[in-house]
Amino acid sequence: MSFDVEQVRKDFPIFEREVNGHPLVYLDSANTSQKPVQVLDVMRAHQERYNGNVSRSVHTLGTESTEAYEGARARIAAFIGAASPDEVVFTKNSTEAINLAAYSLGQMLRLGPGDEVVISEMEHHSNLVPWQLLCERTGATLRWFGITDSGFLDESPIDELINERTKIVSLVHMSNVLGTVNDVSRISARAREVGALVMLDCSQSVPHLPIDVRTLGADLIAFTGHKMLGPTGIGVLWGRFDLLAEMPPFLAGGSMIETVTMGGTTFAAPPARFEAGTPPITEAIGLGAAVDYLTGLGMDAVHRHEQEITRYALDALTSVPGVRIFGPATIEGRGGTVSFGVDGVHPHDVGQVLDALGVEVRVGHHCARPVCSRFSVPAMTRASFYLYTTPAEIDALARGLDQVRKVFG
């Protein structure tokens, strides 16, 4: 399928604006993506013409809203290769999805002293802190894979880290800082050998790569709508249905029940069991529209475009004196997120100079402070690309970094 980035950009109204007198150069899609008119129009139309609560009313608006909400679930399930829409649980974001999994799995497995949970040094705080809290509550032990100098997981201690005491392995699929796409096949296979469950944080991979959960090697994955052209306030927890059916609920309230008496309650089957209260209806419908948009482009085509842009960016950044790139040095094993430092200049200063030129990047520790500590830096500057990124925008970034060097000598 051919990919015309200039045609794609016409679907995004935000690219018509300027920032500080310069054309907008948006290089912060790993933080949040921009939204095409196709998504904005669907959400507005739902609010204007079909707004009603779901799974509660027999009137027309309630029925139409329920059909749109469940239709979005079905399309999202198909997008990731799920066996059934019932394997897709709507949450408010990846963070809530991972917290749900950590709480529920801890209860289901009756985690306690002597049990172990394995993560990595590469994790976003959302896939680190919930497991820390789980281990603190239960007395289980948290262990982790390190990061090599080139930005990959250090799998050398795999047999020692994942052992008969391991109950859960939860890893990032694509790093939000280093851009590393982790091949988790060996780790998943080892987890299977010892009977451990595998969860993947796919917040950065589902928006950018063709994903099929049937071959990914995970029991659960989490991802979020706002990084894949959808709105904020909507995320997904996918899980094997047989596993979800064993897991106890995370939140309690309306819609997640089967029967309620003053003496006790039984719970609905997944996914309703994990969707207490009124859900983010319009947001879920917006995510469904985003999936339609991505499906129309083809995820293989999106991935090829991002590889080309990332290769171009790596070449451009390495040509700027004093720039240090963190993570894989080539596009092999990495996605369209590139973090870097400029010798002698704090990342916040880099970001301010670039913003003055209309170039929007993110600076800081990117909710992954252990990664910065691993590479002995207080923070990093991050440029992240998506299906609407052009070579001209990478050129603007490179020119901006030249200006950074001039300003700071």
The answer to whether the bond into 113 is cis (omega within 30° of 0) is no
168 and 250, same structural domain?
A: yes
Contact partners, residue 348, CB within 8 Å, separation at least 6: 363, 364, 379
184 and 140, same structural domain?
A: yes
Of 205, 152, 145, which is closest to residue 180 (Cα–Cα)? 152
**How buried is residue 376: exposed, middle or buried, by Cβ count under 10 Å (0-12/13-18/19+)?**
exposed
pLDDT recorded at residue 251: 94
250 and 224, same structural domain?
A: yes
359 and 278, same structural domain?
A: no
Q: Please compute, for residue 259, the number of CA atoms within 13 A of its CA located in the half-sphere on the CB side.
A: 4
pLDDT recorded at residue 409: 79
Mean pLDDT, consecutive 10-residue segments, the chain of 409 residues? 89 98 98 98 96 87 94 98 98 98 98 98 98 98 98 98 98 98 97 98 98 97 98 98 97 92 95 96 98 98 97 97 96 96 97 98 97 97 98 98 94
Residue ending a domain, among 295, 319, 335, is 295
pLDDT recorded at residue 347: 97
The letter for the amino acid at 281 is I
181 and 274, same structural domain?
A: yes
pLDDT recorded at residue 367: 96
144 and 258, same structural domain?
A: yes
pLDDT recorded at residue 55: 81
Note whether residue 98 is domain-resident: yes
- Alpha carbon distance 11, 190 (integer Å): 44
255 and 120, same structural domain?
A: yes
334 and 243, same structural domain?
A: no
Note whether residue 274 is domain-resident: yes
Residue ending a domain, among 244, 261, 295, is 295
* 202 catalytic per annotation: no
- Alpha carbon distance 331, 180 (integer Å): 9
155 and 65, same structural domain?
A: yes
Query: Of 135, 202, 367, 372, which one is the catalytic site residue?
Result: 367
Provide the CATH number for the domain around residue 25.
3.90.1150.10
pLDDT recorded at residue 97: 98
Note whether residue 11 is domain-resident: yes
Domain carrying residue 68: 40-295
Note whether residue 35 is domain-resident: no
169 and 78, same structural domain?
A: yes
Distances (CA, A) of 69 to 63, 64, 289, 345: 10, 9, 11, 48
Domain count, the chain: 2
pLDDT recorded at residue 189: 98
Residue ending a domain, among 229, 264, 295, is 295
393 and 321, same structural domain?
A: yes
Annotate the chain with three-state secondary structure. CCCCHHHHHCCCHHHHCEECCEECEECECCCCCCCCHHHHHHHHHHHHHHCCCCCCCCCHHHHHHHHHHHHHHHHHHHHCCCCCHHHEEEECCHHHHHHHHHHHHHHHHCCCCCCEEEEECCCCHHHCHHHHHHHHHHCCEEEEEEECCCCCEECCCHHHHCCCCEEEEEEECECCCCCEECCCHHHHHHHHHHCCEEEEECCCCCCCCCCCHHHHCCCEEEEEHHHCCCCCCCEEEEECHHHHHHCCCCCCCCCCEEEEECCEEEECCCCHHHCCCCCCHHHHHHHHHHHHHHHHHCHHHHHHHHHHHHHHHHHHHHCCCCEEEECCCCCCCECCEEEEEECCECHHHHHHHHHHCCEECEEECCCCHHHHHHCCCCCEEEEECCCCCCHHHHHHHHHHHHHHHHHCC
121 and 94, same structural domain?
A: yes
